[in-house]
Amino acid sequence: MIELLDIVILGMMVVAALAVLWLRDLFAVAMLSGAYSLMGATLYVLLDAVDVAFTEAAVGAGIATVLMLGTLTLVPRQEKQGKKPSLAGLFTVAATGSLLIWATLDMPEYGDPDAPIHHHVAPRYMKDSTAEVGPPNVVTSVLASYRGYDTLGETTVIFTAAIGVMALLARGRRKP
């Protein structure tokens, strides 16, 4: 059974997403995307993903918003008016959305303990991680040990992105 809070937060997220699409003031859009991210973080707490929630609150709602606002000091704050709605885009989105919803009909229901995802490697992580790795937080054990190569790849991506940002911005600025 899905809780009321879950429905309310998801509803608020939909409103925020549509407002992002609708508004032309990019400052409001940046703040809304921060709020959207924070609502996402609240939802993760409800869904027992506390580690993800605080990462999202710090990185998604915090750093991403700061980066957006920093960019908006350098570029115009208003989006250009009068672009007509894209019919092809609307069609693509409607078609993709209905296909995805059709695909979810095969998915296990919310909170179903018999779902296949809960019977593969996860029980082993829960049972053996204390003996094999140590930390009581299983997410930490999986992140740092069982799936350590993922984390290594992640740091490689961040390193590459940091080099990219520096190469783009630190280079001598051209005169406008």
Q: Rounded to the nearest whole angstrom, what is the least distance from the CB of residue 78 to another protein in the complex?
A: 9
- Residue 136 near residue 130, CB atoms below 8 Å: yes
Report the distance separating Cα 137 and Cα 130, nearest Å. Answer: 9
Q: Rounded to the nearest whole angstrom, what is the least distance from the CB of residue 167 to another protein in the complex?
A: 9
Cα–Cα distances (Å) from 69 to 25, 58, 75, 78, 171, in that order, read 12, 16, 10, 13, 21
Cα torsion angle, 125, 131, 132, 137, sign? positive
- Which residues have C-beta within 8 Å of that of residue 9, sequence separation ≥ 6? 39, 42, 43, 46
- Phi (first) and psi of residue 107, to 5 degrees: -75, 150
Q: Rounded to the nearest whole angstrom, what is the least distance from the CB of residue 5 to another protein in the complex?
A: 12
Q: Rounded to the nearest whole angstrom, what is the least distance from the CB of residue 120 to another protein in the complex?
A: 8
Q: Rounded to the nearest whole angstrom, what is the least distance from the CB of residue 89 to another protein in the complex?
A: 4
- Which residues have C-beta within 8 Å of that of residue 1, sequence separation ≥ 6? 111
